[in-house]
Amino acid sequence: MKRVLVTGGAGFIGSAVVRLLVGEGDVEVLNFDKLTYAGNPHSLRSIAGSRNYRFVRGDITDRLKLNAVINSFRPTAIMHLAAESHVDRSIAGADDFIQTNIVGTYTLLEAARSYWRTLSGRERDAFRFLHVSTDEVYGSLGSEGLFTETTRYDPSSPYSASKAASDHLARAWMRTYGLPVLISNCSNNYGPYHFPEKLIPLVIL
């Protein structure tokens, strides 16, 4: 059975990922989340009692706790969605964004690398680290209105700068240490349990 550790799994996108994975039935899911203001345990009520689901409250900047959780759970993949993500909040105060998005990502990458080095054979070959990022690292898209994997980074807020930095860290850990990293850059999305500070629920509500 696959074992997936999801960071930030009580957030809007993270909880959707967790619900999907748990619903598949053949995946064990460990949700590691700090439960900040944007974390919503109610978004996970439908799967809270599932046999293939576990929740651990924790901070991705806490290396000791990450080590303990990762070494105990022994994931076949890590999906990193934990992040501070609101542009206006980052402008008002960038500290949490630097700590979570940059220091937290670094700490998680190091914990993952340490664990990955203990694996061998098929387990080592199959392991993946998915770093979930944002299209905001590319800045204003101008008249083209699109971006690709080769678009130049041009962050324009403390939030997008912190996510750009985390992308560069993830890519560097792949190139330097061989850690099997994947990076996705999500564009705007919406759906159930969307936090009301975001544009679409703000307009609707």
Catalytic residue (one of 159, 167, 177, 197): 159
Catalytic residue (one of 136, 154, 177, 190): 136
Task: Count how many residues are written for the chain.
Answer: 205
- Give the separation between CA 94 and CA 91, rounded to whole angstroms: 6
CA-angle at 157, arms to 191 and 169, nearest 5° = 85
Told to judge if 135 belongs to the known catalytic residues of this protein, a careful annotator would answer yes
The kind and range of the H/E element at 67 are helix 63-73
Whether the Cβ atoms of residue 73 and residue 145 lie closer than 8 Å to each other: no
Told to judge if 190 belongs to the known catalytic residues of this protein, a careful annotator would answer no
Question: Among candidates 85, 89, 186, which has minimal Cα distance to 134?
Answer: 186
- Give the separation between CA 105 and CA 62, rounded to whole angstroms: 11
- Give the separation between CA 46 and CA 42, rounded to whole angstroms: 8
Whether the Cβ atoms of residue 143 and residue 101 lie closer than 8 Å to each other: no
What letter does residue 102 receive in the DSSP assignment? I
Task: Please give the positions annotated as active site.
Answer: 135-136, 159
